[in-house]
Amino acid sequence: MKIIAYEVRGDEGKYFEEIAEKLNVEIIYCKETLNEETIELAKGCMGVTILGHSNIDSAMLDKLMELNIKYISTRTIGYNHIDMDYARKIGVKVANSSYEPNGVADFTIMLMLMSIRKYKQAMFRGNVNDYSLEGLQGKEMKDLTVGVLGSGKIGETVINQLQGFGCKILVYDTFQKDKVKEMATYVELDTLYHESDIITLHMPLLKATHHMINKESISKMKKGVVLINCARGELMDIEAVTDGIEAQRIGALGLDVIENEEGIYHQDRRSDILNNRQMAYIRQFPNVTMTQHIAFYTDAAVCSMVNGGVSSLVSFINTGSSEGDIKY
Ligand code: NAD
């Protein structure tokens, strides 16, 4: 059995070797994305595994079908880089990753704390021997209401980890979980916007969630609200968010993701001219903390991503189904 792995990073190597030996599968490795040029390498393979930078549109799905490749696994939780409707239509099966949500949840809470304790400004001052206090007064979690948008795996873990902080927790999701009800209060979306001091996003990028943080939703939020996004950049209309920062309606932002980050994040672009004006502009504010889509990036998660990516392809090939099969 032969499969091909695209977007392979050095830190994934040892996990790929271990799982290949365990499942007795031959793996071709490619550092590049799956694209028009690199697809040739997939000839003779029964499945492909990718990360989030390969754009799997209808044309790419047709090309895979021409090579008789019907199975894809993405070693990411998000799968908005794959045209799922078309994949379903032509009978290509896709599995996503299901690594433990703790790494992203830890990171989310770190961004919350950095934002309410003004850590970016404190760190910059310390770097130039400015140890003044003025402007660095923060807030305590026990006095705040945290609104969690999405109580899926990551949202639920964030809620669980917040228990120790003594804050009030509101949550909104179209699907309510009993376990979450023991730790937080499900409310209408507008109530969450009206009452939360911190709002954190944990929904997938779908048509219904695209730009859900926009001029209108920001106008419903408390003045000085802290927004945290460790989900997908496109959940936020960055123009509206920038306006909110400038008007001081938004008190702080913690962003692990940003719209149009593809081709920038996870690359060394130091010597290049970057063409994401909004990203360059928003990062200069003292109350905006940005990271380069690294919330997921822990040793445990990378191990799970590789194991899941390979084993779901092997399962598809052997049985026609897989645990990671994307159902909706
Ligand atoms: P999940 O599927 O377990 O949870 C998503 C939740 O959103 C579900 O409970 C679902 O009911 C809810 N939802 C979907 N659409 C909704 C809507 N329109 N209104 C209300 N609720 C809605 O996913 P997860 O594992 O918790 O991950 C959430 C997202 O986090 C992923 O889709 C991914 O984009 C992002 N993510 C980011 C990183 C990172 O490194 N920054 C890592 C992993 C995942």
Position of tokens 């990171």? 107
Active-site position among 7, 81, 232, 234: 232
Which residue type occupies 206? L
Enter the pTM of the model.
0.89
pLDDT tens string 285-300: 999 999 999 999 999 9
pLDDT tens string 16-70: 999 999 999 999 999 999 999 999 999 999 999 999 999 999 999 999 999 999 9
pLDDT tens string 223-252: 999 999 999 999 999 999 999 999 999 999
Over 46-111, what HEC string results?
CEEEECCCCCECHHHHHHHHHCCCCEEEECCCCCCCECHHHHHHHCCEEECCCCCCHHHHHHHHHH
Q: Which residue from 51, 74, 76, 77 has its CB within 8 A of the most atoms of ligand 1, so it is best to mutate? A: 77
CB hemisphere CA count around 81 (13 angstroms): 24
Give the atom of ligand 1 at the shortest distance from the alpha carbon of 175.
11
Contact 82, 74 (CB under 8 A): yes
**Spatial distance between the Cα atoms of 257 and 268, rounded to a whole number of angstroms:** 16
- For residue 111 and ligand 1, the question of a CB distance below 6 A is answered with no
pLDDT tens string 253-280: 999 999 999 899 999 999 999 999 999 9
| Dihedral in degrees, nearest 10, Cα atoms 143, 149, 151, 155 | -70
DSSP assignment of 126-175: HHTT----TT-----GGG-EEEEE--SHHHHHHHHHHGGGT-EEEEE-SS
Give the atom of ligand 1 at the shortest distance from the alpha carbon of 157.
26
Backbone angles phi, psi at 90, to 5 degrees: -95, 0
Cα 28 to middle of ligand 1, angstroms: 31
Percentage of the chain modeled with pLDDT above 90: 96
DSSP assignment of 241-295: HHHHHHTT-EEEEEES--TT-TTTTTS--TTSPP--HHHHHHTTSTTEEE--S-T
Percentage of the chain modeled with pLDDT above 70: 99
pLDDT tens string 86-116: 999 999 999 998 889 999 999 999 999 999 9
pLDDT at 328 over 80: no
> Which conformational region is residue 30 in: left (phi greater than 0), alpha (psi within -120 to 50 degrees), or beta?
beta
Name which residue sits closest to atom 15 of ligand 1, judged by CA: 203
Cα 165 to middle of ligand 1, angstroms: 23
| Alpha carbon separation from 180 to 11, 160, 204, 217 (Å, rounded) | 35, 8, 18, 24
Cα 125 to middle of ligand 1, angstroms: 36
Taking residues 76-80, report their average pLDDT.
Answer: 89
pLDDT tens string 133-142: 999 999 999 9
Q: 101-114 burial, b if ≥16 CB within 10 A, otherwise e?
A: bbbbbebbbbbbeb
Cα 150 to middle of ligand 1, angstroms: 6
